Each structure stands twice: as structure tokens, then as C-alpha cells.
């Protein structure tokens, strides 16, 4: 997933690269943020979450992210035993 500001001097090149990748069959998405130049958008966290969802949906991956893993000592997120 690409993020670009609508006022970024490189927007034409970014959209060209995006189009070429899509034409070659790659699952890519472009999010153009209005009134933004070459900088991070104020809602970057939300855009990154959307990018992650897009990637997971695209590859049909199902994951469960355990929350509050304090006290867990191995990769499953559960105490041993």
C-alpha cells in the first residue's frame, strides 16, 4: 500500500509506479491524502491499520494478536504447562 500527499511533487511518479505494479498483477493500493505534500499524514496510524487489513485480506491470512502478554513465556501467548 502506498500513501502519498496530493500536493507531493512526486505524485505523478508515485501514481505511475502504482499503475505499473497493478498492471503487472500485484495487489497494491494507493491512498492519496488531500492537501498534503511530502510528509506524514495526521492520521498515519489509521492509514497503517488500513494497510495492514488490506494486506491480510489480500493474502487471506487469519491471525489473532494476543493482548496483554505479560507473564507469558513462549510464542503462543499462553503460560507453559
Beta bridge partners of 30: 2
Q: Rounded CA gap, 15 and 63, in Å?
A: 31
At CA 12, angle to CA 55 and CA 1, rounded to 5? 5
pLDDT, residue 64, reads 46
65 in any annotated domain: no
80 in any annotated domain: no
pLDDT, residue 62, reads 46
**Is the backbone of residue 16 left (phi > 0), alpha (psi -120 to 50) or beta?**
alpha
- The pTM of this model reads 0.61
pLDDT, residue 27, reads 84
81 in any annotated domain: no
- pLDDT tens digit string along 21-57? 999 988 888 999 999 999 988 889 998 998 888 888 7
Say if residue 5's pLDDT is above 90.
Answer: yes
Q: DSSP 3-state helix, strand, coil percentages of the chain (rounded to 5)?
A: 35, 10, 55
15 in any annotated domain: yes
20 in any annotated domain: yes
Structural domain of residue 35, as residue ranges?
2-58
Say if residue 58's pLDDT is above 80.
Answer: no
45 in any annotated domain: yes
71 in any annotated domain: no
64 in any annotated domain: no
Provide the number of structural domains found in the chain.
1
Amino acid at each position: 500500500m502506498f500513501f502519498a500527499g496530493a500536493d507531493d511533487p512526486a505524485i505523478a511518479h508515485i501514481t505511475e509506479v502504482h499503475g505499473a505494479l497493478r498492471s503487472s498483477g500485484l495487489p497494491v493500493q494507493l491512498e492519496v491524502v488531500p492537501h498534503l505534500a511530502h510528509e506524514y499524514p495526521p492520521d498515519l496510524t489509521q492509514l497503517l491499520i488500513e494497510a495492514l487489513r488490506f494486506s491480510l485480506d489480500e493474502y487471506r491470512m487469519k491471525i489473532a494478536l494476543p493482548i496483554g502478554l505479560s507473564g507469558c513465556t513462549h510464542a503462543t501467548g499462553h503460560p507453559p504447562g
